[in-house]
A and B are shown apart, each in its own frame.
Chain A
Amino acid sequence: MQNTNTLQTSNRVLVVGGGLGGIRTALDLAEAEKDVILVDKAENIGGLMTQLDRTFPTNNCDLCTLAPNLSESGRQEHISLLSMTTVQGVTGEKGNFTVSLKSAPRYINLDKCTGCGACYEAFPECVRFSPGLDHRAPTCMRYPQAIPQAYSIELDKCQDIEALVKSCPAGAINPDDLGSSGDISCSAIVMSPGASLFDPSGIDYLGYSEHPDVVTSLEYERILSASGPTSGQLLRPSNGKQPKKIAWIQCIGSRGLQKGAAPYCSGACCMFALKEAMVTKERFQEDIETTIFYMDMRTFGKDYELYYQRAKDDFGIRFIHSRPHSILRQPGAEKLEMSYTTDESSKLITEEYDMVVLSTGFRVGDDVRDLAVKMGIELNESNFPAHTGLNQIATSRPGIYVAGTFQGPKDIPETMVQASAAACLAGKDIAAPKKSPDTKPLLPPEKHVVGEEPKVGVFICDCGENIGGVIDVEALVERVGKLPHVVVAQAEGHGCSRESMDHIRSTIKEKGINRVVIGGCSPRTHETKFQDLIRQEGLNKYLLEMANIRDQVTWVHALQPEKAVKKAEELIRMAVGAVIKAQPLAEHSLPINKNVLVVGGGVTGMTSALELAEQGFKVYLAEKSPDLGGIASQLRKTLEGDDVQAFLSSLIEKTMANENIEVITGAIIVDHSGMPGMFTTGMQVGRQMFYRQIEHGVTILATGALPNRPEQFMLDECKEVVTQIEIQVLIEDQSEIVRQWENVVMIQCVGSRTKDNPNCSRICCQNAIKNSLRILEINPDARVFVLYRDMRTYGFQEEYYQKAREKGVIFVRYHQDNPPQVASVDGKVDVSFTDIILGREIVVSADCLCLSTGLVADQDSTEELAMIFKLPRTHDGFFLEDHVKLRPVDLPVPGFFVAGTAHSPKTISESLVQARAVASRAQTLLAKEFINLGAATAKVDSTRCASCLICVRACPFDVPFINADGYSEIDPAKCHGCGICATECPAKAIQLMQFEDDQILAKLEQLFEEVVG
């Protein structure tokens, strides 16, 4: 805990847990110019996600998505990262907490460690390099992407401490490190410590501890992974052969089924199993059989139902609705034997499998429970934070917030949303956020170099032994010093050390250098650092090239030093050739208008508006109907019993009373222009439809969804047929009618999970449970039937499902191709359906037939808005986020965000999480005075353009257009910088800045300088 100065003030947030959620919270706060302390008990941050190979629903490699987050996190000046640190206790209250922290000794000085790995090579036994499941995962995942980029030492394992200390060229090893402990103060705390996974060893009939071929889903993930212990080969742990038949068993340790199982649903395991089965099928096709044994497939997330359909239809994964009885392995047999029965018959079926994967659910770890106790927050019986009304992020202790799997079981996208929402709430508790401009050094004006003779300075690092140990840096310096235009070439030791950086700066100044080449490590990790360095000396940031002679030369060609020298020289020659062609580039930046437009005045829109208004931003809240409230005005109570109307009226009151919010009802958006930070949106307002324009920096879409109302099951034909929304109004407002009912039938998935509307509406199962329970409360004699396809009571909702079964609600499963039949008979509705288990037709004469119709996108409104704002939508009309996992509420157009049911169907409390998440994301933009758009954008030379439209068609983001002058125009604010247009332009009228053709050709030219010449 160095630097106690900065630890005095309480104007900051403590984030506990450096998994994906904690990183997101810290980044959101830091980007909003708020200070954060991020503590994690592990050596490096990253959490559970670093062990995953590919994650749903995109099935892509996580490293590529996680890594940028981590290095972003490492760079933030507002974040102090304390790894190997735990919380000991918390005193004080919201606005002024005192937290005592304890850091374990790392024995490595983080300020000095360059992550070179010399210590690990010399003493692999006592250098922590690979914590985790196997040798590959952490080396790959936690390093070199790891933050902090440093090793840690297990001193007790070291025989020769003196030699270990000497092995470090940077002198970073400190065997006297005792760790540290101390108090810090902060205004608010966000807990995102993550969850553990259920350990199935206690369940004997699954044979997990006996049979090596029975693995948990996380273990299977590692086995399957290209970077796993078998290096990408899928092999049976028992005999090292490739399995031909694999089964997944769902709900292990969840839904209260086995010994020691939790009462809740873990929410993410169905998708997790689908993903694993799909990736398996993708790789082995017909060569492997995959079967998933499930109770209910719970693919309730956005577009998850389509993912399930794909697994079934395109990948040929077999689904069996059954819980296998036990997993056995006959003595001497190779295969696992599994018996189960199906819905269709009671006959016991026995099948052989090579591997069985147990889909184990989430648990609150003991350490996390202890932490929560130290934090003084109330827990529920499963040790998750106790329910605190509609605000999921709050805990029983004001000022302490919670996000991620510790809040409740969930997947990555929802974790990310909660993490942003927690940043929003915690950020608000900071009394007086410090303003940072004074901390930034003033930069000298940029020198004019265009037209000047190129004067290149080449600085080559030896990086200790990393480069210097393989090649003779001095000799290399001498050779490249003779290249044309190279004014100076010198060796720089550790180029990134403060001393060398100062030396480079003074050399640039003395020799009047106008272009710089650094020969050293990767531009991926160090380009920004050296760009900043030359900028401080008055050179444009883009007059720099880095030759990656460490990661891509000495580290990989160490065994062939002569070849390494040759290649290093070639790479430097290429860099010199390219930097000579480099031009100073302007980063595009724009001043930001700090007003916010929120479209949609339901609970989501109002909550976003209030959160931002309370942070001092002016908010225009545009609602197309005459009143605020949206769909919530029709709702009475939540499943958990929260009073929606009381909540809504207080929310409306607060919204109307807030001076920073201007509510514009009867507003229809008609036009839009500008770029992020300076939008202009036109709307027609009120009955007179008078036109007004609003200028704003960001736009939040909270336009909601519509209750679905399909013409099915005699809805709107027969007055006894109602929807879940209508029945809950009846229950709460006209209970005398409910008291007279004998039979009530509910049909699930009406108008959802069908051909026309393939997605799951997410909210209907819990609505049916909620209303069933309420009916039985009012009228205990009533018989309630719920006809369902899969009950999707995810998370803690499962406990209410359990309760409904206990109270006698009759749940009957039906197949999509054999739906219930209804007929109106004497003021009642006869519902006939097949009971799959009894195998016979049952007719119930219902006093009320209630249809679970769910939500659908407000097609007209989203289509209109998508057109005006140029936003993409999903096939079913919801707004499409930029990245499901990493930017779940950011829209692909910068400056646009989406929250609530405009994103996808969800409950009120889930909508409120998104409402706060977008408020947090919006603040990351609004905190800045200018928006930096970078320099790597495509530029059109209009004198060459043939207006052929090829760029217009080629751009993946629809940015180029033919302007009024008849030439292609590319808005740098919208260009993503891929360069595809530059490649395809037949007139060579487009160049991608920073990667111009002449630079690439110069590299080729230089590479072959000697070979050909």
Chain B
Amino acid sequence: MYKEWEKIIQMAVRNIKRNKRRTVLSIISVGLSIMLVVVLQGLVDGLVENIIKNSIKNETGHIRITTKKYFEEINSPSSQQIVYNPESVLGYILSDVNVSMKIEFVTERIKFPVLLQYSGNNKTAVCIAGDSEKEKKLLMLDKSIIEGEYLRNKLVVKGNKKYREIIIGKKLAKMLNLKVGDTFPLMLSGIDFGVRIPSFYVRGIFETGLNMFDENVFMMNIEDAKYVLRTNGGVHEILIMIKKYKEAEKVAKYINSLLLKKDEYKNLVASDWKTTGGFVKMMYQALKIYNFLYIAITFLGSFIITNIILMTILERKREIGILKSMGFKKVQILMLFTFEGMVLGTVGSICGALLGILISIPLSIYGIDFSSSMSNMNFPMDNIVRWSINLASILSSVLLGILVSSIVSVLPSRYASKMKTVDALKSV
């Protein structure tokens, strides 16, 4: 059995070498399509990683504990969906060693939409209130301050008045004409439905490079938010960051099982980043479409192999006849030509992948600046997108190239295997 396949492989390889120009042409065609797939995959992987990173950082954490109805009221300025006693909830969850050993850190957030008004300008915005120290590891706005300072967690005394501090996105500040050191009143509706108009002091202006953030978000200390919204110590979200983010779904499930055991926590739910991250879900849908696109590109590039194998078969009809007269079976003839296509596909795919990696390396270091096209988009994507070089994706592209080349070779090879021996021998 082995010697027979060894000979078929040997013949296939030698036949490939027979017409070098044709071989090079098919390798180039497959190579270009796989190169395109690798580069495109690098871009898409880079985008997805970027969006996942930003979604986790800004929106979902790895796991987010909220009330079950939180997402129904997420856009309400006075959402009643509060997690009360977050410390007790966390204490209960973290007392379970299966959870605590997997957790890196936890933080709490209050998020609410508001209408910001200042010097005749107004703009809807979102306030993210968090623990200013812990958020240095998550939102990381301390690293994006371009004017003024990051939150100091102190009241600001100006004249005889005390102000709570905020930091604000650069574009949002520009739209409202707010500057560092300015103070402004903010009309808020608390969860007790009482309307209050506290004043805030602009401690700093940040620029993250993320339009969605720079145009819409301002941040305050969570204790200030608890006070102005009268949440009685409650928060909207408890964000949990775990050591291995891929385990988020499993850990969230486990936390849910813990929450269900206590009556007072039965209204709470833990969701992993994939479940509640709207943009992440969208990207995963898009990835499925991209996978079809990769397959289509590979097929287009590989169809030249069908042509070349068919041409080869027509030229080598007589040889097929000789092999059949010797007793070669249909499957052996089929394999001989399919293997030729497979070899072309393998060499083309490897060359294409290497070329794709070469192109992707500088793109992964320097990236491409999409700021001009992203300026009006509310998408959790950095302005500079860097390609991701993922070994598994590259390997899958190479395997896709080999598989598709083999598939497209089968069709002409079947024609060869079904050829009548006597007709094949007659051909010149």
The answer to whether A binds B is no
